[in-house]
Every structure is written in C-alpha cells, then in structure tokens.
Copies of this chain bind each other. A is one copy, B any other.
Amino acid sequence: MRLSLLFLVCCCTVMRILPQCATAAKARHFRWEVSNMFWSPDCEEKVLIGINGQFPGPTIRAKAGDTIVVELKNGLHTEGVVIHWHGIRQIGTPWADGTASISQCAINPEETFTYRFVVDKPGTYFYHGHYGMQRAAGLYGSLIVDVADGEEEPFKYDGELNLLLSDWYHESIYTQMVGLSSKPFRWIGEPQSLLINGRGQFNCSLAAAHTPGAKQCAVAGGGNRHCAPVILPVLPNKTYRLRVASTTSLASLNLAVGNHKLTVVEADGNYVDPFLVDDIDIYSGDSYSVLLTTNQNPSANYWISVGVRGRQPKTSPALAILNYRPNRASNLPPSPPPPTPAWDDFARSKSFTHRILGLAGNTPPPPAKSDRRIELLNTQNRMDGHIKWSINNVSMVLPSTPYLGSLKMGLKSAMPPSSESPSDTFGRGYDVTRPPANPNTTAGGNLYVIAHNATVDVVLQNANALARNVSEVHPWHLHGHDFWVLGYGEGMFDEKLASAAFNLRNPPLRNTAVIFPYGWTAIRFVADNPGVWAFHCHIEPHLHMGMGVIFAEAVDRVGELPKAAVSCGATATALMAGNGGGHV
C-alpha cells in the first residue's frame, strides 16, 4: 500500500499522465494577502483583518496527505503577521507553525512568507493569527481535511455544513491590548456579538418575535451582506455532518439546533466514540463534528443557536437558520430558539466534556506510563500594578527573537529572563479555593526543555482568581501534538488518587482541553515532534496576560530553518556576523 502510494506520487511528479494521479496526495497552492479593511461583521462597521478581501479568510479544503502551500503576503501597513494552522501538528515542519516569537519571525509589511506543510490527518481545523491579539481582529478561517481517497470516515452522512464560531468586540485590538497592559488594568469585558461564519447581529435579533424588547433584524435583502444571517440549506430525512470550530477571543459557547439531536463523532481532528446530545459546549480552540438528521417537520425551518457559557453572559446568542428545502429561507422558525443552558451549570458542562472518549479501534492508546510529569498551577496575579495570569507563579513573556531559531543556534542571551528550568511542580500547600495569599508574580519565559520521545504528563491545575469565589474556565491548546486527556478532577490534584483513576483505556485524543473552575485536567503526549511548541490558554486576553508555557523538543533534530523564519532579531544578527567577508 505504501509502495503503491509512493508509486502514484512519483507518477504525478514525474509523468503527470496517469489517470490514477488524480487520486494521490497533492500540493494545494494559495496566494493570500492579509490586510486591514472595513467590514461590518455584526452590521456595525469596523476595521478588521481580512485575507484577500474576505472575512473570515478563505476556507482551505484538502485531503489527508496533501501538502498545503500558502504564500502569505503581509499587506498591513506597520504590523507584522503570522498564521497558525490550529490542530495541524506540523510534523517535520515546526517553522510553519505560525507562532510569532516562537516558531518564526513575524512577516514584515510587504513581505511574503511561504507556509508549506502536510495535513496528515482528516478533520475539522482552522487557522488564525498568532501575534499580539490579531486573531481577535478577525484573522481566521476554516481548514477542513477530508479523508484521503480510498479511505472512509467511520460514520456516514449525506451532506456537510460548516460553522466557524467566534466572538466580536467593537473596540479595536489596539485599545484592548492597551487596556490589558494598563495601570489600572482595564478588562475587555464581554463581546458585543457572537459570529457564525463571521456574521452576527448587534442590537437586533432574528428571533425578535420570541425575544421581548428586541428589534427584528433584516433576514434577507436590504441588509448589509457582511451581516446577512447564515442560512444552512438541508433536505428532509438526510444526515448532515456539522463541522463546528470556535476561534473566540473569550467566550465559551454552546450550540444547539432547535428540535434536533446531535451525535458527536469528531473532536479536534480525532474520531470519538459517538454519543447523542441536545447541544454541545465548545471552548475556544475546540472543533467538533456532529451528525444531525433532518427528521423533523419538513414544513418548518429551525434555529441554530449559539450562546455563551462559563461566564455570566452579556452577549445575545448568535442565530442561524437551518433551512429545510424547499421552504423559503426567510420563513423564520415558528418556535423560539433553543435556550443556552445556564452559564454556571458546570455540572452539565463537565458531563458533556467527560463523554468525549476515543473511538475504539481508531484512537491509538496512550503509553502506559509517562517519563515526566509537569504540573502547571494556573493563577491570576499582580505584577507591578498590572494584572497577569501566571503558571507556577511565572507570567509568560515572549522573546523578540523566536525560540526555534535562537535555541537551534544556542543564543541564550536572546531568551527572556529566567527562561530556563521553570519548575515541574508547585507547592502542595497552595490553597486553590482562595485568592492567592501572596498575589505577586514575576515574568519569565516558561520554557520547558523536553527530551526527544519522552512521554510527558501535564497536570493543569486551576485555582481561585484574585477575587474571592471566582475561578474561570481555561481551554488549553497544545501546538505540534495531539494529547490524550487522561482525566479531570475537582480541587487540588492528588497524585495517588488521580493517577489511579486515569483513563488509559479509551481517552480521547485532542489538541485543546479545558480546565473547569477549581478543577484539574491531566493530559499525556509523546514528545516525538522536534520543534518549539506553545501550550497556552486559548483565550486571547489570557494569553496576552501571560497564560502559557513553551515546550522545546529536541531542537537539535529540527531540519534547516527557512531563512525568512530567522531573519530578525538575534538570529539575524548572529547569522550576519558569521558572514566573515560581508560587512555592509
């Protein structure tokens, strides 16, 4: 089988004549230009970051095994840019992970950087900016990988619908970033709108008939095309795959479809043991596929409702219309939109999350034991009048010279202070149920050096924030890897009790895992992908406030870096200095 695939690839490359070539993995080329543009995602005009004049950016659709080539031109005027391919492991191409300060130099204005990487695994992915808070400025889009030709999904469906969920603020990210860095601190607050495929409605509701006091939004015609409601056409008595991903800046979401049940079949590009639910929770950085059968009264349309969970919601749900054809899309559903579960019903949230398990016969089991355990205490702290998030009492700052280059070249002076040897654990005396006794924190690189092929457990330990009786939800996302989620627990992680209860039989493989308030989450991964990988809370302002760590993995085994990935800062200077004859 491998030989024959190789044969086909050779055919395509060398001869380009055999009809079978159409079925082999191929390179998919894209030319993108990122730029600021006027857009009205929720009918209020703002400036956002688009790609090729579109928001959200173009959807990439590929087949497993394909090579994606994106020539990304930065058309911003004074800002650098990078794009992270969320969920793609970048095996052998860590310089294409698209993380500023970590995997590459930010692309300067008017420069072009070529991302070239293999999408090795089918699934529902997305991409987004990973510099400052540019994701929250609208720099994102969908990346969907189908199974390779000749392969089959472990479930059947008749059609497919794609929903990329996000939240939207009317303040610019510049203002947001200044506020988060200011003394006194200014929180960004709750988003003004939720968006489905980049569209939302502010100050009106599509379901005004069911929403006391709300103004009816235009359903079609007359409206601004940027914020026209999302219509999802379906035929009765079919089964659809809904691909759902969340790239929110802050909000944890819940998605429900009026009158319809959903069967969860995929999470973060990995198949899961199917289970039936009324709605799904989806945290920033998550993606899911759910199957929906159009078995309801075909004379009506139905609401798709996306609301906020996990924080007291101040944002109206986003609505889309599941349009049973041949009904007109403008026939609004007669029933009220399905209500979002109570924001603080964490028992319900946990129940959903705990049901996500690996698909037997498909999900590889984790190694039985780990070589190292890294415990990461998540706390909210103060530093010199600022408010920060810290990991083991160090708030992450990123270097101006990206790690992948500086580590490969051994430029230790390019690292942030105290980057080396952060602690693998934290004092067990810490009381996670109360605000920190000593709220002061420091800044550092939080750079963990991981041995090649080590099996690593990470315990993410949540705690009380600065205010009493507050502990927040944090979805942590790992770059360069999927991980098994071994278990979730309440309160302080207890090594003996917890380890004994780890699920080593059918844990799900994911790239994002949530920690619930006052709880812990344990994950396991194998450090088999040389590179430098971010591991961080996917909430944009939390990352900006320092909530992350870096895993440097066998950097000596990383291949030659593209020059453009290191042509900045200390790596550029060092390489230029190495040029004996070439004083400028």
Contact = CB atoms under 8 A, between A and B. Distances in A.
Interface in A567-581: 567-569, 571-573, 575-579, 581
A37 interface: yes
A178 B37 contact: yes
Given A37-B182, A38-B182, A576-B572, A400 B172 contact: no
B566 A567 contact: no
Contacts of A576: 563, 566-567, 572, 575-576, 579
A159 B254 CA distance: 68
A178 B38 contact: yes
Given A564-B573, A573-B563, A576-B579, A77 B182 contact: no
Contacts of A573: 563-564, 567
A109 interface: yes
A584 interface: yes
Interface in A97-115: 100, 106, 108-111
Contacts of A579: 575-576, 578-579, 582
A400 B111 contact: yes
A405 interface: yes
A81 B80 CA distance: 11
A584 B567 contact: no
A575 B568 contact: no
Interface string A88-129: 000000000000100000101111000000000000000000
A480 B81 CA distance: 32
Nearest to A565: B584
Nearest to A131: B78
Contacts of A231: none
B77 A78 contact: no
A181 B78 CA distance: 14
A398 B77 CA distance: 11
A102 B317 CA distance: 49
Contact of A581 (B79, B109, B405, B578): B578
A384 interface: no
A175 to B, nearest CB: 5
A313 B221 CA distance: 40
A446 interface: no
A156 interface: no
A132 B78 contact: yes
A308 B561 CA distance: 54
A450 to B, nearest CB: 21
Contact of A78 (B35, B80, B110): B80
Given A78-B134, A178-B47, A575 B584 contact: yes
Interface of A: 35-38, 47, 77-81, 100, 106, 108-111, 131-134, 172, 174-175, 177-179, 181-182, 398-400, 405, 408-409, 560-561, 563-564, 566-569, 571-573, 575-579, 581-584
**Closest 9 A/B residue pairs (Cβ):** A110-B400, A78-B132, A567-B572, A77-B132, A575-B576, A578-B579, A578-B582, A579-B579, A561-B584
18 contacts: A36-B174, A36-B177, A36-B178, A38-B182, A47-B174, A47-B175, A77-B132, A77-B174, A77-B177, A78-B79, A78-B134, A106-B108, A172-B174, A563-B572, A563-B573, A564-B573, A566-B576, A578-B582
